[in-house]
Every structure is written in structure tokens, then in C-alpha cells.
Chains A and B, each alone.
Chain A
């Protein structure tokens, strides 16, 4: 099919017309779902805030189901589709494989997400996004999810197809860029995720229409989490790719070592998805051997990979800043980093919050025995709001500050507000996540309407500290929502009213990526290692926090009743 290409004069990125359109539409759909999810967040937070308890229980559970689905699936996966098109067609400067199928991807996901939302808001499907059987939702709840997943699967295959196109058309030489490799990792995980999801959602759909009599509830949980948790691992691979992308564009950072970073992604491909077992550590039907091997990503190889990325990403920033001449002391590079650039600031907060809060809490929560202290408590949403929100969502927000000018050809409005938005959102959500984890440590349940247990045969009073933390959750949650709302306003406002920018000429042929000159590649034979002492200090700080918090929890565990 004939298509055209343009090279953005500001960023040098080359967009193929079909891919460009698909990126735009998917990104816009993502933002709209974030808006819906953000509105549901108001209902959720104002109900969990004990001083307000806004909604009655039926509405709370309905809204919470919508919040989980619209945020975790709709917002994130639509955005990921845009990322996949970008990482394949744009970074490899080639045409998109089967653009028509791209529209099938998009519309299936649109129809699917709307169908599931209709089911939820009709009120017969308040089953939470996990929809554990035998609790049953309306058939179109499952059908919508299936359509959505099929759409996403098509997106994955287009990504792989586009890699093949680039190879065949020789638009690049050698290996694909690091960011594309990270996106490939996300795609591979997504394929497993969606196939597994089909494996459970299709039978569940048939069960909901009465064609299948029964689904084993333990089997459901096991297979469902192959979907539910692996999809979080897609997010990790995607936002780590963005951590590599943003510093590359903003300060010209390059990986410290291609070998190390790609090796770490390979460990993700092999082992990250095993972590689905995190959700079954306190279940009856799984063996201890299965739990230990899977929850540890096969002996913690994927944690090792994350720790490596957590080193090489700031390391790449430090090396780039030092090459620019910020060489004084251990931390001049960090002080003089472009903190006023919202893309960079968002990316760095995402990195730090994901590492220190989401990463550490996730590994602790995923330790077989320690899980019993926190399973299904408020600790769990506390943990994942510091992974999928301050990690993934913030990284996506950050990269959007780059995409609006280059992809949508609009200048961001209110540059001053843009500058503060990542701090507002990132810091407020980090605090929210922390106090949620604090409340969970004190036993507070997740997905629970009433901490006063109205209508129960007994009373139980939560510790005062737990109530305090829930109040703080409410307060900082609201601040986070303001930070998220601000982002939506800035992005939508820029698309509507931002100054139009020159997008470059449309031409018929792609300009391939020039092969590296022998000189450039010579300078890469290991001779130009820049020492990164500041990153070493940061990484060791993370390590010490990790070890301490890990053993503090073993200590807590040793104090509860004896179990065997």
C-alpha cells in the first residue's frame, strides 16, 4: 500500500502516515479512559476515606470494578498499543505491517472496552476486575474483555510483522534499538498474557451463558492470574523501555552496555511472567514447590534484571551528563539534570518510586511466607499504585510531553504547569501508596466498604494508626487525582488549542537509519566507559533499603501465630 513519511524537524523522528494515525487514535483513546478511570478514582477514594464514605456499598463496588478495568486495562493497554507502533515503525523508520489490521486492533479494543463498561454500569457485573468464579457477571462483561484482548493480540502481531518489514526493507543495520528491544519484550509477555487470558475468559463466557456448568475456582484463579499479573509485566517492560527512551531523546543518553541491558530484558522474557504466582501464595490448591519457584521468577532472575535496569538507566543518565561536562563531585550530574523538563522529571520520579516503593514492596509481598501478612489487605493496592501508577502511568505521562509536539505537532500549553505536574502526581501518589501499605500492614482489607463493619454480628475496631493512614490515603489520593486531572487538561488542551508546529514534509520513501560510521563504532569498543559513581551510591542505597525492609518483614512474620 502506498504511504508517506515525514521527518519531524525538531526531534528527527520519522513517522509513517498509517502508523502515525494509529498511534494518535490509540493514545487519544487511552487518555479518555484515564479520564473515566480518574473519575471513578474520586468515588473510590472518597468512599475509602473514613471521614467521608461517599458512596453506598453497591455503588462503591460497581465503581471499584470500573476503576480497576478502565485504569489497568483500558488506559494502559491502549497506550501500550501506541508505544508498540512507535517502537516498531517510528524507531525503525519503516512502514507498518498490515495497517488495515491496525484498525481492526483499534476498533475491537474500543468496542470491547465499551461493552465491558456498559456491563459494569448496568450494575449486574460488580465482580471486580478479577471476576473470580463462581461469582458471575453479565455475559457481555466477559465478551467485551475477550474482544479487547483479541484486539491487543493483533497489535502484538503487527509489531512483530513490522520488525520483519524493517528487516526485509533494510531500514536499519545490525540489531534493533534498545527501546524497540524492550517493546519486543513487552510484546512477547503480552502474547503469553493474552493467550492465557483467552484460555480462561472464553470458558468463563460460555459458563455465563449457561453452556458450561462449572469452572473450578482454584483453576480459574491460577489461569486468570496468568493474565492478570502478566499484564502488569507487560507494563514493566513497556515503562522500562520508556526509561531508556526519554533520556536518549532529552539528553542523548545511551545504554552503558547493550549487552547488559539486553541480557536483562532476556531474563524478563524468560522469567518475569512466572510472578503470576504472587496472587496464589495463600491459596489452598498449589504446592509449596510451585509457589516458591514461580513466585521467585525462577530464583529471582527477573528481580536481578530489574535491579540491573535500575542501575543502567540512571547510569546512562549520569554518563551522558558527565560527557556534557557535569563532572564535579558525585552528584553534580544529578543536580544539574533537566529537572524542569517534565518528560525527564516524570521519568526519573517514575524510576525512583518504582524502584524504592513498588519494586521492594512487590518482592516482599511476593515472598511465599511473608505474603500471609498482607494477602488481600490494603497493602496490595498500595503496592501496585507504586508500580502501575507511579511506575507505568507516570512514565506514560512523561513520554506524552515528548509525543504531543512531535506526533501531534502541537506545542504544550502552560509550560509552567507542565513542569510541576509530574512532581505533583508522582509525589502525591508515592505518598498515597506508602500510607496504603501502612494501613495494609495493620491489617486493613482491600475492596472493603466499611471499616466499621455495619450489620456484622460483632464489632472490631481497627487500630487508631490504621484509621489515620486511611485518612491520609484519602487526602493524598485526592491530591493525586488533581495531578492526574491536570495532566489530562494539559494534554487535551494542547491537542485542542496548542500552537501548531511544523511537522516536516511528507515524502514517499522512508529515509533509512544511516549505518554507524566505522569511527563511531570504534569509539564503542569498551574504551569510552564513563565511571558512574553517583549511580553506584543510589543503587547501594536502594540495596540497603531493600535488605532492611525484607528482613523487617521476616521479623514481623516470626511474631504471628505458629502455622504449619
Chain B
């Protein structure tokens, strides 16, 4: 007759269920279906869906592609706070931009234009890293040996930070990258 004793009624499955319980079960069921449909609905009509375009790669192959992209599209160099030279690379509108995640930086600096769509490629040279675009707050896992192609359209202009938000070792907190978005 209690939760710590066997059910008193041997045929407990045959007991009727009270109306209020049915009412709540119905709400829970319908709400579950609504939430399920929401994800599918967003895939069709929503404007923020994470791309499923991904390829298996190697750090060497990815780095080679990225270096080629950097060599062809660098517009200027910038000096970081530690004195390092960092290329600023303008991604052609509608084109491909490559971002390298490695211990412990995001390379290079990408320059985009507001309202244009870009195919941003993400991959890591070593451990897992976390692409965390701030203050927009978009967060994507970056996994070594996987090349992820994410279509992005900036809707705001300015200077954005890429924080690494997957633990990647002792220098993890210093892994800060940059994206410029021009009007």
C-alpha cells in the first residue's frame, strides 16, 4: 500500500487512472510533440541551423588548404599584444574562409562583410577546441581530423572575439581569436 511495498492490488494494471492524471499526461505528451516539431520546423523555416557539412581530414591537409587561402586573400597584417604578426584575411563574399584552431590560437583573423554569406571552415590541428563567437554567442565544437563547413551570415558589424571554450590545455584561457565584420 505504499511505494516501499508491493502494490496492494495484485492486478494494479487494471486500475483506472484518475481524470487529473490523464489531463497532465495529455499536456506532457502534447508539449513533447510540440517541442519535437519545433526542431524540425526550425530546420525548414528557421535561419539558424548548424550545418551538417563535414569531412574527415588530417591536420596537414587542412593546414595546407588554409595556408593557400591565407596567401591568396590576406589584406594586411596586425600585431598582437605579444608582438606576433597575424594576417587579416578578407573572405570573398559567398566564398570559403578557413579558420585554424590550434594550441593556443585561432588563425588567421577573418574579415567579413555584414549581410553576406560565407562558408567558414573549422578544424583543429591538435586537441578539441571550442569556437565561441562573442558577444554574439554562437558556440561550435571544433574537432581534430574533422573539417566542418558552416555557412554564416553576419547580421551585425564590428569586432568580434572567438573565445576557445573547450578545455585545450594550460594555455586554453589565452586562446582568443578575432573576426572583423565591416558594414
Which A residues have a C-beta under 8 Å from some C-beta of B? 57-58, 61, 91, 128, 132, 134-135, 172-179, 216-218, 221, 244-245, 247-249, 252-260, 280-285, 287-288, 292, 296, 299-301, 303-304, 307-308, 311-312, 315-316, 363, 367-369, 372-377, 441-443, 445-450, 453-460, 462-463, 513, 516, 520-521, 523-526, 529, 531-532, 535-536, 539, 543, 546-547, 550, 554, 557-558, 560-564
Contacts and interface: CB of A to CB of B under 8 A. Distances in A.
Contacts, number: 323
A255 B15 CA distance: 12
Contact of A217 (B7, B12, B18, B128): B128
Contacts of B42: 368-369, 554
A418 B35 CA distance: 41
A221 B39 contact: no
Contacts of B13: 258-259
A443 B162 CA distance: 11
A159 B27 CA distance: 35
A457 B50 contact: no
B138 interface: yes
A249 B168 CA distance: 48
B173 to A, nearest CB: 4
Contact of B80 (A281, A369, A457): A457
Contacts of B168: 135
Given A91-B4, A447-B167, A516-B8, A134 B126 contact: yes
25 contacts: A174-B12, A216-B145, A249-B4, A253-B3, A254-B1, A255-B3, A257-B15, A259-B15, A282-B141, A292-B43, A296-B35, A299-B36, A307-B24, A307-B28, A443-B132, A445-B130, A447-B172, A450-B174, A453-B173, A458-B81, A520-B1, A532-B20, A554-B42, A561-B133, A562-B117
Nearest to B8: A516
Contact of A554 (B31, B38, B145, B170): B38
B139 A176 contact: no
Interface string B135-166: 11111110111111011111110000101111
B76 interface: no
Interface in B79-137: 80-82, 84, 86, 105, 117, 122, 126-128, 130, 132-137
Contacts of B77: none
Contacts of B20: 531-532, 535-536
Given A369-B49, A563-B49, A257 B18 contact: yes
A377 B165 contact: yes
Contacts of B143: 217-218, 221, 283-285
A445 B163 contact: yes
Given A178-B3, A516-B6, A563 B24 contact: no
B174 A303 contact: no
B63 interface: no
B61 interface: no
